Amino acid sequence: MKDYIKLIRLKHWVKNLFVFAPLIFSQFVTDIEKIKIEFLTFLAFSFVASATYIINDILDAESDRKHPIKRNRPIASGRIKPGRALFVAFCFLLASIPIMSELPLRASALIVFYFLLMLAYSFSLKGVVLLDVFIIAFGFMLRVIVGAYSINVIVSKWLFITTLFLSLFLAISKRRMELFFSFQNRESQISEQRKVLDEYTLRFADQMVTITASGAVISYALYTISERTVSLFKTEALIYTTVFVLYGIFRYMYLIYRKNIGENPTDIILSDAPMLINILLWFVSCVIIIYRNKIFEVFSLN
């Protein structure tokens, strides 16, 4: 059972929490019906994402066996046969269909588009320099857009750009650490693990990390004080949550450059206590600022 949990990458479902962002920032977090729809969206996206992970692992099995960490994956290690893994992927895709039927058509269509895009990525596009990281980043952006379409709200352009920079930052950081470990692991060549790494250098990756980190912080700060945001939330106080975004970016860079970890962004977020606490504080601060009027109403009634 542990192998099958690893196969579907259950802990990677945390990425799909991005679908809830429009729910929170559109002030619908108290709407039960919209919460239900977003939960269904989360499940549908998670099932489809797990299917893409499995297909990707089947295609990468040979190269994963040459990687010091990835060779322990269920398919690469031989603990789960490719045929059985493919059947599990098919079951997850099948299970997502009735869930997507409960969602608005354009939300379901984008989930299908995500699946097709990830198939193209797994078969060929992951070997195209720069396009590989942009596709990974676009996957995060699709999660936000699908979440917005599911509850029929409009995503702020600044929030959209923030998601783009943040997801690019995570994707490039991942490539940077893959490149670093490839240099460290002298027993295997870079091209044997991921051919596209031949097109990157540590200096080039570091420059892109700096640019995307700066872009994420600046675009988030601009989102918090944009005319639409201030008008919607009736306050400019959201700007103060930028401190948590800054700390999160700096902490992530610290773990990359000083602790040499970051090949798997999900592992960093779930295992690093300061990062988890920072995310929690950011979330609580946002909720208090965005829903302060409703919170005051509840206390006044009591």
The pLDDT value given to residue 181: 79
Q: Using only C-alpha atoms, what is the Rg of the chain?
A: 20
Q: What pLDDT is recorded for position 270? A: 85
Q: Name every residue whose Cβ is closer than 8 Å to that of residue 95 and which is 6 or more positions away in sequence.
A: 47
d(CA 145, CA 120): 20
Q: Are 61 and 75 in contact (CB under 8 A)?
A: yes
Helix (H) or strand (E) holding 141: helix 131-150
DSSP label at residue 189: -
Of 12-16, 254-258, 265-269, 272-276, least confident by mean pLDDT is: 265-269
Q: Is the per-residue pLDDT at 298 higher than 90?
A: no
Which pLDDT score, from 0 to 100, does residue 195 have?
A: 75
Residue 190 pLDDT > 50: no
The confidence score (pLDDT) of residue 120 equals 95
For residues 281-302, average pLDDT: 78
Pick the closest to residue 168 from 122, 110, 214 (CA basis).
Answer: 214
Q: Helix/strand/coil (H, E, C) string of 77-117?
A: CCCCCHHHHHHHHHHHHHHHHHHHCCCCHHHHHHHHHHHHH
Does domain 1-155 bear CATH number 1.10.357?
Answer: yes
- pTM of this structure: 0.89
Per-residue pLDDT tens over the stretch 195-244:
788 888 999 999 999 999 999 999 999 999 999 999 989 899 999 999 99
Q: How far is 242 from 249, CA to CA, in rounded Å?
A: 11
Q: What is the pLDDT of residue 178?
A: 84
Residue 283 one-letter amino acid: F
Q: Residue range 46-57: average pLDDT?
A: 96
Please give the Cα distance from 176 to 188 (Å, whole number): 17
Residue 19 has pLDDT above 70, yes or no: yes
pLDDT for res 257: 92
Give the residue-averaged pLDDT of 108-137.
94
Place of tokens 């600046």: 218
| 266 contacts 177 by C-beta, under 8 angstroms | no
Provide the pLDDT for residue 107.
96
Q: Which residues contact 182 (CB under 8 A, 6 or more apart)?
A: 188, 189, 190, 193, 194, 197
Q: Is the pLDDT of residue 171 over 60?
A: yes
Q: What is the 8-class DSSP label of residue 155?
A: P
Rounded distance, CA 75 to CA 107, Å? 32
